[in-house]
Structure 1
């Protein structure tokens, strides 16, 4: 494998990919293997991934995230909120070249790693890395069709960050665990206040990965983030228009 800039040339130590990885990643499997090596070495060394996660990198992390592609619409823009080490954004990009993905992450050491991985895997035209929190970039961020997240926060709090980044009629896809149904039940009132008009729990990767990935899907209506966020966006847009007229 190629080491990240500034790193030595480590011995790759993640497990070999299971046979199903070829079916899921197709011709991009070599890049997925390279990403697994980067996670196992530089990712662990920089504190982005715990060393105990290395033996289960494929089943628990890469494949679990890659099968999210089954429920993402075609040719849409995606923002991976709290991307961390690039999960699920990087596996999703490898499986779905039709997507345009932004990896949104507030910590510098993580965005540095993400940018290096994007360049090493040749994903520059498809994937961009933005440093910041969702609530901080709200007024400067172009709304997207889909927001993704994994292991970031409880659903109601996650929706407060992710839903306002959506364009009208977009959707948030959050990879959750066994308690997804209960978490969704508790969060439904909060989701409604944010403009979510439909929510459900989906299973991705059935027949491919075991267990399948559990995904909470929350679809918004005309005003993502609710009326308060829609008004905030409109106010920011008016300020921008006035500034533009003043500059002419």
Structure 2
């Protein structure tokens, strides 16, 4: 059995509900097309569900109902596409600077019929992107940059009262302390470390939530 045909985890049904078929199709796309085009490393293909799709989908636990969410540096659509599938009430905007990746994101959006997803090619810090995007409720990301720099890109995109909610590793507490001055300069308030997916995944996903206060 090839990796792209691996059994769908039972927890995927609980996370994606009526969108399970679309989640399976996205998994297949990453395992085949995404891998062939260099967006997913070959070693990651057998663990796409656990390490990439499911751990991104559970971040919906931290998202307000009906929010507009910008996913910066979206790459192959992580975390934005699993989030859009798990939380169809959210409006997801995928921001990706590289042409080949933004093209792929557009293809996935059309193939899966994701009406709640928009793709913007560009960098979060570009004025043109900010103008096109406007202010959003939440800015999310995964493995994009150190926290201070990430806050400088993310918080200006969020409305006052909104937040950045970024996927981070276990050292996020150290990053939060180290980059406190940069976060404050970007308009951020006190950061909160959150774990989501504890009831669904063997290893919960760690998030940092920083509100925009100015």
Alignment TM-score > 0.5, same fold? yes
Residue 126 (str. 1) matches residue 116 (str. 2): yes
How do residues 91-130 of structure 1 correspond to structure 2 at under 5 angstroms?
91-123=82-114, 125-130=115-120
RMSD of aligned C-alpha atoms? 1.2
Indicate if the aligned counterparts of 2:93 and 2:119 stay in contact, CA closer than 8 A. yes
Q: Distance between the aligned counterparts of 2:51 and 2:195, measured in 1?
A: 15
Which residue of structure 2 aligns with residue 23 of structure 1?
14
Which residue of structure 2 aligns with residue 56 of structure 1?
47
Indicate if the aligned counterparts of 1:198 and 1:220 stay in contact, CA closer than 8 A. no
Structure 2 counterpart of 1:199, from 186, 191, 199: 191
Which residue of structure 2 aligns with residue 186 of structure 1?
178
Which residue of structure 2 aligns with residue 4 of structure 1?
none
Q: Distance between the aligned counterparts of 1:171 and 1:196, measured in 2?
A: 8
Residue 159 (str. 1) matches residue 159 (str. 2): no
Could you tell me the TM-score, scaled by structure 1's length? 0.82
Could you tell me the TM-score, scaled by structure 2's length? 0.95
Which secondary structure state, in structure 1, belongs to the residue aligned with residue 33 of structure 2?
A: helix
Q: Distance between the aligned counterparts of 1:71 and 1:31, measured in 2?
A: 22
Which residue of structure 1 aligns with residue 169 of structure 2?
177
Residue 37 (str. 1) matches residue 24 (str. 2): no
Q: Distance between the aligned counterparts of 1:20 and 1:84, measured in 2?
A: 24
Give 1:181 shift: 1.4
Greater radius of gyration (CA): 1
Give 1:14 shift: 4.7
Indicate if the aligned counterparts of 2:13 and 2:20 stay in contact, CA closer than 8 A. yes
Moved more, 60-69 or 194-203: 194-203
Moved more, 22-31 or 77-86: 22-31
Q: Distance between the aligned counterparts of 1:119 and 1:174, measured in 2?
A: 26
Indicate if the aligned counterparts of 1:43 and 1:49 stay in contact, CA closer than 8 A. yes
Structure 1 counterpart of 2:76, from 78, 85, 90: 85
Give 1:51 shift: 0.8
Moved more, 158-167 or 183-192: 183-192
Moved more, 148-157 or 135-144: 135-144
Indicate if the aligned counterparts of 2:3 and 2:45 stay in contact, CA closer than 8 A. no
Moved runs in structure 1, 4+ residues, more than 3 A?
none
Structure 1: gaps spanning 5 or more residues: 1-10, 224-248
Q: Distance between the aligned counterparts of 2:130 and 2:118, measured in 1?
A: 17
Aligned residue-pair number: 211
Indicate if the aligned counterparts of 2:4 and 2:27 stay in contact, CA closer than 8 A. no
Which secondary structure state, in structure 1, belongs to the residue aligned with residue 125 of structure 2?
A: helix
Q: Distance between the aligned counterparts of 2:165 and 2:75, measured in 1?
A: 16
Q: Distance between the aligned counterparts of 1:138 and 1:128, measured in 2?
A: 14
